[in-house]
């Protein structure tokens, strides 16, 4: 499945036990020797919510949350008959997440996700800095200075604003930021270009994956950061290489993200 070209291997794991999903992710997500994907999503039962979403990046590392992925999971649960409800709650590594399938039919679904509130305290991101938050803070990266705004959307993000996302050397700077010693759990890294108060263009280097076509939690982080330090609107359209997402947020409220979810194909993976 894919959401704004952020692609996933999606598995019904409700009756599967004793599976090493990290190793399955490494093999299945290999784009030459496996299926090929940015990560693997596993639908699992939950004692507290409607379902549990397990997510592993392409390198096998677990991630607390995936915004594009959970939209795909909401469609997947309907597709396989696991539910007939368009409103679902999910147990994730980032806590309880709610989804609503707004459009559902033969083509792509359109899904809104209540992503919960952003977190700004350094210990909650986490980033090893003092203070109440991290806004446009200088970081030494590969011999140069980057101005980063850091927050958590259930997983860590570092955002920098640039004049041109196309000209930025993300392939060389991305891994340096991901593995910067200030981020004990590594971080996702977004570069953003504000077109106007309601439109932002971005690219993303995802922790454990590399550059991807889209990142839902990253788009949310960019929208929040743009409002905090670039006077963007409370609702913005985020343009990513793989598509567009709409993100709405006001201080003290939860972040709402709306975007597509589409099935590419179904099949069996020999394990």
Which residues are the active-site residues? 66, 215
Give dist(CA 187, CA 14) in Å, integer: 30
CB 119 within 8 A of CB 249: no
Rounded (to 5) percent helix, strand, coil in the chain: 20, 40, 45
Give dist(CA 218, CA 131) in Å, integer: 23
Q: CB atoms < 10 A from the CB of 208, how many? A: 18
CB 21 within 8 A of CB 56: yes
Q: Which residues pair with 92 in a beta bridge?
A: 95
């Amino acid at each position: 499945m894919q959401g704004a070209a952020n692609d996933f291997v999606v598995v019904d794991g409700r009756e599967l036990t004793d599976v090493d999903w990290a190793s399955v992710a490494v093999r299945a997500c290999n784009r030459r020797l496996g299926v090929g994907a940015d990560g693997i999503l596993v639908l699992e039962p939950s004692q507290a919510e409607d379902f549990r979403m397990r997510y592993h990046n392409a390198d096998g590392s677990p991630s607390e949350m995936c915004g594009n992925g959970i939209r795909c999971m909401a469609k997947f649960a309907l597709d396989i008959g696991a539910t007939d409800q368009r409103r679902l709650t999910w147990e994730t590594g980032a806590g309880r997440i709610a989804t609503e399938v707004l459009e559902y039919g033969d083509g792509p679904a359109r899904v809104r996700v209540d992503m919960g509130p952003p977190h700004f305290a350094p210990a909650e991101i986490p980033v090893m800095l003092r203070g109440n938050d991290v806004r446009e803070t200088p970081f030494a990266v590969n011999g140069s200075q980057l101005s980063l705004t850091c927050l958590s959307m259930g997983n860590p993000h570092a955002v920098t604003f640039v004049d041109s996302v196309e000209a930025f050397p993300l392939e060389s700077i991305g891994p340096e930021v991901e593995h910067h010693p200030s981020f004990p759990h590594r971080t996702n890294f977004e570069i953003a270009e504000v077109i106007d108060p309601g439109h932002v263009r971005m690219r993303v280097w995802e922790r454990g994956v590399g550059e991807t076509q889209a990142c839902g939690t990253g788009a949310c982080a960019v929208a929040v950061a743009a409002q905090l330090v670039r006077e963007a609107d409370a609702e913005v359209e985020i343009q990513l290489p793989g598509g567009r997402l709409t993100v709405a947020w006001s201080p003290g409220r939860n972040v709402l993200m709306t975007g597509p979810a589409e099935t590419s194909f179904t099949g069996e993976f020999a394990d």
